[in-house]
Amino acid sequence: MSTFTIFLALIVIVAFLLVVVIMVQNPKGGGLSSSFGGSGQQMGGVKKTTDFLDKSTWTLATLLLVLILLSNVTIMNTRSVSESKVFEGEDAIENAIPEAGTPATQQEQPQTDNGQ
């Protein structure tokens, strides 16, 4: 299992958790805390639920960004190993294309006598 695959799995998990945390929140500020204790009451520390959801959203978003950047670094490291193969392929293509100064090879076509 490559490092990139591990980062990819972590990115998918964090993105799913981020979606779940965002969906639990209410856009008008009520969210999970209003469904348990109301906006004016504190029942068992439910007022802190909004703070927890807000902090977890920012934490998961930051973690997602860091994982994406780290996965990009691992891609760059794995590409440096395989760059030689890419350059060999480009050299073969450049050698196959004739330069502007040399005449291109043409297939000989039989000349037809049009009777003139």
For 32, phi and psi rounded to 5 degrees? Answer: -70, -30
Does residue 26 contact residue 34 with C-beta atoms inside 8 Å?
yes
DSSP-derived secondary structure letter, 46? G
37-61 burial by CB neighbour count: b if 16+ within 10 A, else e? beeeeeeeebbebbeebeebbeebe
- Digits of tens for pLDDT over the chain (116 positions)? 788 899 999 999 999 999 999 998 877 655 555 555 555 545 555 567 778 888 999 999 999 999 999 999 888 776 655 555 555 555 556 666 666 655 555 555 566 666 65
In the chain, the largest separation of any two C-alpha atoms, in whole Å, equals 107
Domain layout of the chain by residue ranges: 1-19+50-79
